[in-house]
Structure 1
Amino acid sequence: MRGGRKPVEDRPTLTDLYHAHRLGLVRMAVLLVDHQDLAEDVVQEAFTQLYQRHGEQLDDLDNALGYLRTSVVNGARSMLRRRKTAREYVPPHEADAPSAEDHAVLNDEHRRVLVALQELTPRQREVLVLRYWSDLSEAQMAETLGLSRGAVKSTASRALDALEKHLEKVR
């Protein structure tokens, strides 16, 4: 082990990462982009880009999972920008009403939290999703989002305050 790097034989392959982390990355992306099919596309694109750059063995990449998280967050941001641009040129349409199955799956409080989460700014939502859903440390969130640890802490604090105010308002 030179320079703190894992020996090549101890590093996971892309297939190992896919099987171990795809579902968690899709869940994280769903919270960022609001649609499962779009979230799956974002995650698949992140894995595809990783494969194109580094191949199956990932020999020259120290933190492949961190790379994937950052790619998913950036892909979600791009997806949201594209959706916003598309909405500006296409007349808005009525969203489909939630199905009875959706109501059965999510309890009322969970739905209120998801609605309140959508009221936050994109950065606040990203910080809370990475912190509470993906269970990342402040350092990992800072690396994933390209922010300082202080910015992550203050954004999380403001996001929690805004979330709490919104939840109190809807009670």
Structure 2
Amino acid sequence: MTVFSEGVRTPGPDREAGEQVLEAPVPLDLAALYAAHRLPLARFALLLVDDMATAEDVVHDAFIALQQHQSRLRDPAAAVGYLRTTVVNNCRSVLRKRQTVRRHLSLVRDSHAEAADSELLLAATQQEVLAALRRLPRRQQEVLALRYWGNLSEAEIAEALGISRGAVKSNASRGMDKLEAMLGASR
């Protein structure tokens, strides 16, 4: 689905039937979008990149991209979906870059180390669930994070990740089965 366009051509009341006029796109209230969605998007990104500073950078980059392309946004209601998709793609880019750095520099580093302050904020059970979530394949992590932390529908998840609804269902099911097995084994 294409979210952006250069505008909509519609015939006006005082125009001839064949003549069309370019309508101006509806402006977005970026400040309101930022206030309403920055924190939930940052929390979601944190689940994927495992570093709050990087998660915030990813979200800020998504808002910058939206600001740069807002004039081509066909439907203002699609802005939140655009932001989610951009955050997922930016997180994937961050993870690819990390992987490349590790491979080429042969750095051994715990990619799941959390800052001391974020450890204190989570209860022991939440830490256990997050640790198990991080051991899942990337796609299952993304689907479960969007479903249970982002409260998105299957259709919204499919759109954000660029996959089918069936793939969302199967990744969610497999991910939950693996989580249950991991968490059941640890108790």
Same fold (TM over 0.5): yes
- Partner amino acid, structure 1, of 2:107: P
The structure carrying a bigger helix percent of its residues is 1
**CA offset digits 1:9-30 (Å, max 9, x no partner):** 7x74111101111011000000
The equivalent residue for 1:127 is 143
Instruction: Check conservation: 1:54, 1:61, Cα contact below 8 A.
Output: no
Q: Percent identity?
A: 49
Q: Is residue 67 of structure 2 the alignment partner of residue 51 of structure 1?
A: yes
Instruction: Check conservation: 1:66, 1:144, Cα contact below 8 A.
Output: yes
**CA offset digits 1:25-82 (Å, max 9, x no partner):** 0000000110000101110111111111125xx7634400000000000100111011
- Report deviation, 1:93: 3.8
Structure number with greater Rg is 2
- Report deviation, 1:104: 3.6
- Secondary structure of 2:107's aligned partner: coil
The equivalent residue for 2:102 is 87
- Partner amino acid, structure 2, of 1:51: Q
Tell me the matched-pair count: 162
Task: Say which of 57, 75, 81 aligns to 2:90.
Answer: 75
Query: Equivalents in 2 of 1:50, 1:102: separation in Å?
Result: 29
The equivalent residue for 2:21 is none
- Partner amino acid, structure 2, of 1:75: N
- Secondary structure of 2:69's aligned partner: helix
Normalized against structure 2, the TM-score is what? 0.78
Cα distance change of structure 1 residues 102 and 36 upon mapping to structure 2, 3 Å threshold: closer
- Partner amino acid, structure 2, of 1:60: R
Cα distance change of structure 1 residues 103 and 54 upon mapping to structure 2, 3 Å threshold: closer
Q: Which aligned segments of 4 or more residues in structure 1 are displaced greater than 6 angstroms?
A: 96-100
Task: Say which of 44, 69, 76 aligns to 1:28.
Answer: 44
The equivalent residue for 1:139 is 155
The equivalent residue for 2:81 is 66
- Secondary structure of 1:65's aligned partner: helix
- Secondary structure of 1:72's aligned partner: helix
Query: Equivalents in 2 of 1:43, 1:118: separation in Å?
Result: 20
**CA offset digits 1:145-170 (Å, max 9, x no partner):** 11111110011000000111111222
Structure 1 runs not aligned, ≥5 long: 3-7
Query: Equivalents in 1 of 2:49, 2:180: separation in Å?
Result: 22
Cα distance change of structure 1 residues 142 and 94 upon mapping to structure 2, 3 Å threshold: closer
Query: Equivalents in 2 of 1:110, 1:14: separation in Å?
Result: 33
Normalized against structure 1, the TM-score is what? 0.85
